[in-house]
Each structure stands twice: as C-alpha cells, then as structure tokens.
Amino acid sequence: MKTYDEINERIASGRAVVVTAEEVIDYVDSRGLERSAAEIDVVTTATFGPMCSSGCFLNFGHSTPRIRMTEAWIDDVAVYTGVAAVDVYLGATELRHNDPANMDYPGRFEFGGGHVIERLVAGKALQLFALSYGTSDYPRREIRTWFTIRDLNQAIMVNPRNCYQNYNVAVNASDKRIYTYMGLLEPNLANCTYCSAGQLSPLLNDPFYETIGIGTAVWLAGARGHVYAEGTQHAPSCRRTDEGLPTEGGGTLALTADMKEMRPEFVRGVSLPGYGVSLALGIAIPIPILDAEVLRRTTVRDRDIRAPVVDYSRDYPEMTGRTLGHVTYEELRSGEVRIEGRRVKVGSLSSYHAARRCAHLLREEVRAGRFPLAPPLRPLPREQGMQGLRITGEPR
Amino acid sequence: MITRKLFLRFPKCETEKPIVYHLVKDYNLIINIFRAKVTANEEGYLVLDVTGREEDIDRGMDFVRSFQVTIDPVNKGVRWDPQRCTHCGNCISHCPTHALHIVDPASREIGFQEELCIECLNCLENCPFGACSSAF
Ligand code: SF4
Ligand code: SF4
C-alpha cells in the first residue's frame, strides 16, 4: 500500500519508478505482482485518436475602440460568440465557411475547426474576422486582424468527451460504400476500422475509475491539464467482461488544459471524406500504483480486451443495438479479423505509435520529477447508463 | 531484365507523339503505366514502370529525352510525408500493394515503399491527416 503523498515525494526526489502500461506487462510477468507493486510507483497510460468533442475558449483582448463580437471566423471557420465580448469558442468539427460539404459526394473536408486548432497550437498566424451591431460601450462593428496563440490572453482547451474507455469496430454489411467518422467502409465487410489504444488506453487500465477521477492531473498533448468532469455519454453501467473490462463504449472523461503549453505533433486536424472534420489528440494519464490490485489492472493486454463489431450501414444509424460479435485488440492488430465467417482487413483511426510516444513522454516527465500526481477530488460515477433522445410532438 | 519506375514530365507541345508506342516497338520495353495526365496545351505527366534490358532502357530514355520530355529522378507521383503521418494505420486496409505498410509490429510504425506504389490514390482519399499527396 502506498499513498498519493508517498508517491509524490518519490516523484519530487526524482526516484520514482515509472513504466508505461505496455512495459508493465513484462515487468509484472517477470517479477511477480506483489514485488512489482512495491517497486513501481506510476504506470503511464495513453491514447491518440480523433476526439470530435474537442474545442477551446479563446480570449483576444480588447481592441481600440472596443468590439463585442457577435459573429466571428478564424481562418474562415465560424466560432461561437454567444459568450463575453472578446471570448469565442472554437469547435473541432466546425466546417470552413462555404465548404460544399457533401454536395459533391463524398465531400473532402480538407479544412475545418480541427485544422484551425492545429495551426493555432503550431504557432501559425491566423486571421480573425468579426462583426458586431455596435453598442455605446462597444462601438466597433467590424474587425479583421492577424494573430498567433501568443497574442491571446487565454487559449484553453475544453473537451467534454475524450478518452472513450473502449470503442466500436466499424464495418459495412451493405452492398454500397459508406463514408463515416470511422473512415471509408467498403461493402460486404471488406474492411473494418477500430479506434482505441487498447492495452495502453487510460480507462482500460483503470476500468472501475479507482484512480482516475475528477481532478486527476492529465498530460493533454504535452500540457499539464485536468479531468474537470465525467465525460459526456459516460456510461459505466455497460456490458463488461468477467474482469470488468467494458465490451462497448463505457466511461469517458472531460479534459481541459492550456493550449499554450501543448506540443503541435499531438494536436492534429482530421479530414474524413464524406463525413467532416475533427481533431486528433494525444493524451497520457498517470496511474498511481497504490496497491497490488491497482497494478494488476494495468497489466491488461490486447488479447483480454474485446471490442464490439458494429454495422455502420444500418445498426449504427438506426440505433438497433445489434453487434456482429466481438474481436480482441490482439486480433485487430494482426491486420485481419474474422467477422461473420469472412476475412476482414483492418485499419485504425487511432495511432498506437503516437499513443506510445505520449506514454513515454509522460513517463519521462514523471521520472524527472516534473509531473506530480493529483488525487481525484471526486470519483467518476461508477453506475449510470446513457439514454437516447425521444422525439415527441408535445411537451411532456 | 530490370524494372524501373519513372516519372516523366512532358512539355506543353510534345504530347501528341506516340512515345510509348516507340518504347515498346523499337526498344523492346514492357511498359506498365500507373497514371497519366496528358492534356493538349498543358504540361503532362506520366508515371510508369519500364521493364527490359538495362541498355534498352537507357537507349529508350535517350529517345524520350530527345522530345524534351524530362525524366525526373526525384519527383514521385505519390508522396508520403513522414512529418505529417501520425502512424494511425487507416491507409493500411486501403493500400492494395502494401506500399504503405507496418514497419515494426511492436510500435505500429508505418512506412512507405515507393517502388510498390501503383498510384491508385486510395491513400490520398483515406489519410485523415493529409500525409499523402500527389504530384499532379
Ligand atoms: S492514414 Fe495517413 S497518417 Fe495514418 S498511417 Fe496512413 S499515411 Fe500515416
Ligand atoms: S497510391 Fe495506392 S498503392 Fe500507392 S501508396 Fe497509396 S494506396 Fe498504396
């Protein structure tokens, strides 16, 4: 048994034993659980993939004379101005003004909110254009200017849903191509796409949210951030394996961090033909090894984690709840899986390679004493489902 | 017999000559055209494999050059930018020849073997991160 304080003391002294959620598997295999639990202080978990529910609040500071922005665009991508005068919210999935979307199907969606966020974090010069109706105290009615992230007072990422605990494997059982947020799916189960870091993924290494809770310090694309709430659609009361690993979406996290501290390689705009734009993020979360049970859960392997196979031509859009069975991440990583008796080629939208880099970078931060852990202020809900939207013609 | 993958650039005026015909007929070369964009009054491009004896290929290329067609040793029809690639692996199931492939199963690092690329352009459409692009 160790406490957060003891672990933080070891981190501060630069003596903490830190391994990644991949390295811990062999470590525990060779030294045994009890001995490893006494030795290891922190296991770093990570993920990298598109997280559509990402966005940020930006504060521009006041111009002379002042403007209270009522409509605004950054690099031609609309931002939300229904907040204070020169605060705006920029969302990852916003399309560029005049994007033809799917009018010429499939649309290419080469640039949108996610790409603006990528350019912002990369320190590029962006163009702001804003309009207003003008008031006595905010007389300016139009502004057009170039800026970089350094010119902003605040650039704070606020992502209501990141780090899905587990995720669907998308297939297409119809006889036509479909374009989805899981990429191009060829007809008749010709290919499938998954999106999870599997054995490295934060919430698969802490399936019951014993250490990751509201207030937990996270490494969000290189910046020290926090879990600020349960993620939207957090649904811990999902189907699970005997070991407690979700076999569907499960839990999610709401994360925030300062974009000025982020590393551009882990903040990347995403274009999905026929679907739209998004943002991919690299996230790493440290797990304190408080006892042997917490450690044991971090030794989860790809072969233990099962993902549901979902038909995105019918079952996903129609919310039927049907799955075409489950496959493990070990099977997925082999490049080919069997679904309904067919051999299906596998692609992925998440990057294990990038997730691994995030886990390594956080490991180095913790080892160097630069990343103290923050105990949760409040646990995440451990029991709750998720409801659909009922469409009614009258108020209830 | 050897095979070389070539990137030919045609100047505006020479696009009407049956160059490929002569390569086959006069130089005994086997030609496999991957992709061509040859439009009257515009600069044209041709990406192809030529297979034959080395001296026949060399002579054939001298013949091609006599039309002011340039053989670009550096340019590739399809380019993969390792700086932009996140190694997500979405292209893997769409690349028919394994030109885009997993280099190391442990790290899931992706690599691009240009000689295997048949320029189908699937990866251009399917790379979410814009790592693949075309010269034309
Ligand atoms: S889809 Fe693009 S980013 Fe992903 S591995 Fe292939 S080339 Fe790299
Ligand atoms: S163009 Fe086609 S063959 Fe070449 S790398 Fe891309 S997907 Fe593979």
The set of protein residues with a Cβ atom below 6 angstroms from ligand 1 is: B 80, 85-91, 100, 110, 127, 129, 131-132
Q: Which atom from ligand 1 is nearest to the alpha carbon of B110?
A: 5
Give the structural domain span for B22: 2-72
8 Å CB contact of A347 and B102: no
| Residue A61 CA to ligand 2 centre (angstroms) | 47
**pLDDT for the residue numbered A374:** 95
Residues above pLDDT 70, as percent of chain A: 100
Residue in A372, A328, A357 with CA at minimum distance from that of residue A20: A357
Chain B positions touching A280 (Cβ under 8 A) are 86, 88, 128-129
Residues above pLDDT 90, as percent of chain A: 99
Nearest CA in chain B to A181: B128
**pLDDT for the residue numbered B73:** 75
Whether residue B19 sits in one domain with residue B68:
yes
Whether residue B14 sits in one domain with residue B68:
yes
Contacts of A204 (CB under 8 A, 6+ apart): A45, A165, A166, A196, A198, A245, A246, A300, A305
Q: What is the mean pLDDT of chain A?
A: 97
| Residue A107 CA to ligand 2 centre (angstroms) | 20
Q: Which atom from ligand 1 is nearest to the alpha carbon of B129?
A: 3
E-only strand ranges, B53-85:
70-71, 78-80
Residue in B45, B60, B42, B35 with CA at minimum distance from that of residue B8: B45
Whether residue B103 sits in one domain with residue B62:
no
| Rounded Cα gap, residues A391 and A386, in angstroms | 16
Q: What is the mean pLDDT of chain B?
A: 90
Whether residue B127 sits in one domain with residue B102:
yes
Task: Decide: B85 in ligand 2 pocket, CB within 6 A.
Answer: no
Whether residue B61 sits in one domain with residue B22:
yes
Q: Which residue has the higher pLDDT, A196 or B44?
A: A196
Cβ of A134: how many Cβ atoms within 10 Å? 15
Backbone angles phi, psi at A303, to 5 degrees: -70, -15
- pLDDT for B16 beyond 80: no
Q: Which of A181, A352, A356 to mutate to test the interface with B (most CBs of B within 10 A)?
A: A352
Measure Cα distances from A6 to A2, A216, A288, B35 in Å.
6, 17, 10, 64
Chain segment A222-243, per-residue pLDDT in tens? 999 999 999 999 999 999 999 9
Whether residue B89 sits in one domain with residue B55:
no
Chain segment A128-183, per-residue pLDDT in tens? 999 999 999 999 999 999 999 999 999 999 999 999 999 999 999 999 999 999 99
- Joined tokens for residue B18: 């049956």
**pLDDT for the residue numbered B29:** 93
Distance from CA of A330 to the nearest CA of B (A): 11
Chain segment A314-365, per-residue pLDDT in tens? 999 999 999 999 999 999 999 999 999 999 999 999 999 999 999 999 999 9
**pLDDT for the residue numbered A327:** 98
- pLDDT for B14 beyond 60: no
Q: Which atom from ligand 1 is nearest to the alpha carbon of B100?
A: 6
Whether residue B58 sits in one domain with residue B13:
yes
Per the structure, the count of domains in chain B is 2
What does DSSP assign to residue A338? E
Q: How many inter-chain contacts (A to B, CB under 8 Å) are there?
A: 76
8 Å CB contact of A193 and B90: yes
Whether residue B118 sits in one domain with residue B101:
yes
Whether residue B64 sits in one domain with residue B6:
yes
| Residue A88 CA to ligand 1 centre (angstroms) | 32
| Residue B91 CA to ligand 1 centre (angstroms) | 6
**pLDDT for the residue numbered B15:** 57
The band of A24, judged by pLDDT with boundaries at 50, 70 and 90, is very high
Ligand 1 atom 3 nearest Cα: B85
Domain end among B18, B37, B72 = B72
Contacts of A242 (CB under 8 A, 6+ apart): none
Whether residue B85 sits in one domain with residue B65:
no
| Rounded Cα gap, residues B117 and A36, in angstroms | 47
Q: Which of B87, B109, B128 sits opposite A271 (nearest CB)?
A: B128
Q: Which of A351, A356, A360 to mutate to test the interface with B (most CBs of B within 10 A)?
A: A351
Q: Which residue has the higher pLDDT, A23 or B74?
A: A23
Q: Which residue has the higher pLDDT, B96 or B74?
A: B96
A346 and A340 Cβ atoms separated by less than 8 Å: no
Domain end among B27, B53, B72 = B72
Type of residue found at B79: R
Least confident of A376-380, A392-396, B91-95: A392-396
Whether residue B82 sits in one domain with residue B44:
no
Give the angle subtended at the CA of A58 by the CAs of A56 and A64, to the nearest 5°: 165
Q: Is B19 left (phi over 0), alpha (psi -120 to 50) or beta?
A: alpha
> Helix B54-65 to helix B19-27 angle, to the nearest 10 degrees?
150
Measure Cα distances from A382 to A95, A187, A366 in Å.
36, 38, 28
The band of B40, judged by pLDDT with boundaries at 50, 70 and 90, is confident
Residues above pLDDT 70, as percent of chain B: 97
Chain B positions touching A354 (Cβ under 8 A) are 86-88
Contacts of B24 (CB under 8 A, 6+ apart): B30, B31
The band of B17, judged by pLDDT with boundaries at 50, 70 and 90, is confident
Domain end among B32, B51, B72 = B72
The band of B67, judged by pLDDT with boundaries at 50, 70 and 90, is confident
Residue in A106, A111, A108 with CA at minimum distance from that of residue A93: A111
ipTM of the complex: 0.93
pLDDT (mean) for A261-265: 98
| Rounded Cα gap, residues B130 and B114, in angstroms | 17
What CATH number did the domain enclosing B36 receive? Answer: 3.30.70.260
Whether residue B12 sits in one domain with residue B56:
yes
- Joined tokens for residue A267: 């903040």
Chain segment A268-293, per-residue pLDDT in tens? 999 999 999 999 999 999 999 999 99
| Residue B88 CA to ligand 1 centre (angstroms) | 5
DSSP string, A108-149: ---SBHHHHHHHHHTT--EEEEEE----SSS---EEEEEE-G
A348 touches chain B (CB under 8 A): yes
**pLDDT for the residue numbered B41:** 80
Nearest CA in chain B to A266: B86
Burial of A224 (0-12, 13-18, 19+ CB in 10 A): middle
Q: Which atom from ligand 2 is nearest to the alpha carbon of B97?
A: 3
Give the residue ranges of DSSP H helices in chain A: 4-12, 23-31, 33-39, 113-121, 202-205, 292-298, 329-333, 352-367
